[in-house]
A and B are shown apart, each in its own frame.
Chain A
Amino acid sequence: MQVDAPGGEHRYGRAVFLGTVAAGLSSLFWGRSAWSRVSGELGSVEAYVPLVPTGGWRIYTVSGSMPRFDPATWRLSVGGQVEEPASFTYEQLRRLPRVEQVSTFHCVTGWTVKNVRWGGVRIADVLAQASPHPEAQALQFVSMEQPYVDYLTVQQAAMHDVLLAYEMDGKPLPREHGAPVRLVIPEMYGYKNVKWLQGINLVPSEQLGYWEQLGYDQDAWVGHSNGYGSAPPPPPTAQSHRGFLTR
């Protein structure tokens, strides 16, 4: 027996489909700010119950396996245009003056992690032991993860909140975040923040780093590069870099 349905028929199926597609596509323009507002509201809850299982981080690697830190063999070498190439063990690095800073980590793919507490050493303190040549204009950062390298100009590396971090949020830097030491430059997108650091070389000029060879911007200013924002990059907020190389 066919019972007559009250109220007639409506094409809700296509309405739900089209509405969802429209909402999804338009979210390309509002999704990130909406999500950051929601996660801001939920920040206090999230301290107890992680709502997203990643703490906001994603772990990006470019090679077959993630580098493993072995304190017995790991060294941070400083070479290139220097008087006397230097090399630090993990212990030697930890004995240099310790600095700390809190900053937001921005990935070029759109995710950010707020209030990351980094502990580590200033680049200048590491370079000082190798006596860099004054004509060096850039620094090459070499990762244990081959073939990942990236570069900063001397001016960029001298900005006040750039550091070589061996601690994150009060704990030794975890393996997935680049143990034992990573570069941290909060003004630039994550791909400039080289993980699993094993060498710093002073070079005459900046070259293209790993992602830059694949089309990403060399100066990865957050909000002012890689297709984001139209304003020119901000001038370095840094101290003068005079004395950075020579101390």
Chain B
Amino acid sequence: MSGVYVNRFSRTERVLHWVNAAGFFVLLGSGLVLYLPSLAIAVGRRPLVKDVHFWAGVGWVSALVLVVVLGDRRGLLGTARELDRFDGDDRVWLTGGARAPQGRFNAGQKLNSALTAAFTLLFLVSGLLLWLGERDTRFRFASTVVLHDGLMYASLFLLVGHLYLALIHPATRHALRGITVGTVDADWAHVHHRKWVPPE
């Protein structure tokens, strides 16, 4: 480590990440109370928990939209472009060539962000359908609950991998510094994101 730090994540990116994380955990917690019989029994108050879950979902998505609207939109657009584009090195990286040089985001992070964004949208749609379906049969599909539950399992799977890499795995956990204070060590960045040219 060089002791020289370079900016990896802008304030808008970091706020977006943590708003997303906070909302996800509130929804996961309240959702599990609704889903797991043992928790449902221990906590009770299902109508209240349902309200908490519903409004947390509405609040989550609204907060994400608010961060985008009030934040550095041009910067986020650039980030989205970075996340969208996979080059030959990314394909090598994904097929097991972990040494293939990577940009600011490695190919795994690009995949994770695409899936997370898709899951968020699907969570929103299926959650609204569950809520509306309780009020009007036109919005009732037999598979809505399967989709909503499946998303929970899939995103839990992503989350476990994400937490392992961010908190435990020695080679990657330095990245946590980037998403909290914004900067990472220049040497670390050079090893893990060789093609990335940090801003001056």
Contact = CB atoms under 8 A, between A and B. Distances in A.
Interface of A: 2-3, 5-14, 16-18, 20-21, 24-25, 27-32, 35, 53-54, 57-66, 108-111, 175-176, 214-215, 226-228
Contact of A20 (B80, B85, B115, B197): B115
Contacts of B118: 16-18, 20-21, 24
A226 B137 contact: yes
Given A21-B122, A59-B37, A109-B133, A5 B114 contact: no
Contact of B130 (A30, A35, A109): A109
Interface in B127-150: 129-130, 133-138, 140-147, 150
Nearest to B139: A227
B65 interface: no
B88 interface: yes
Nearest to B105: A13
B46 A61 contact: yes
Given A12-B85, A29-B141, A226-B140, 4 more contacts: A2-B195, A18-B118, A21-B121, A27-B150
B122 A16 contact: no
Interface in B68-118: 80, 83-92, 101, 110-111, 113-115, 117-118
Contact of A176 (B40, B86, B133): B40
B81 to A, nearest CB: 9
B140 A25 contact: no
Contact of A5 (B40, B41, B46, B89): B89
Given A13-B110, A109-B133, A65 B44 contact: yes
A54 to B, nearest CB: 6
B37 A176 contact: yes
Given A13-B86, A65-B45, A7 B91 contact: yes
Query: Residue among A12, A18, A53, A65 with the most chain B CB within 10 A?
Result: A12
B119 interface: yes
B47 A62 contact: yes
Contact of B143 (A16, A32, A175, A227): A32
14 contacts: A5-B90, A10-B86, A12-B85, A12-B114, A20-B119, A20-B122, A24-B147, A27-B143, A31-B147, A64-B45, A65-B45, A109-B133, A110-B141, A110-B142
Nearest to B37: A59
B151 interface: yes
Contact of A25 (B45, B125, B137): B125
A7 B107 CA distance: 15
Interface of B: 34-37, 40-41, 44-48, 80, 83-92, 101, 110-111, 113-115, 117-119, 121-122, 125-126, 129-130, 133-138, 140-147, 150-151, 195, 197
A171 to B, nearest CB: 15
Contact of A215 (B40, B83, B136, B151): B136
A27 B34 CA distance: 22
Nearest to A177: B37
A58 B129 CA distance: 18
Nearest to B133: A109
A126 B146 CA distance: 38
B41 A59 contact: yes
Contacts of B129: 28
A214 B133 CA distance: 11
A59 B40 CA distance: 7
Given A17-B118, A215-B137, A6 B40 contact: no
A5 B101 CA distance: 9
Query: Residue among A66, A110, A227 with the most chain B CB within 10 A?
Result: A110
Contact of A111 (B85, B145, B147): B145
* 7 A-B pairs with the lowest CB-CB distances in the bound complex, closest first: A227-B137, A7-B88, A31-B143, A13-B84, A20-B118, A5-B87, A6-B88
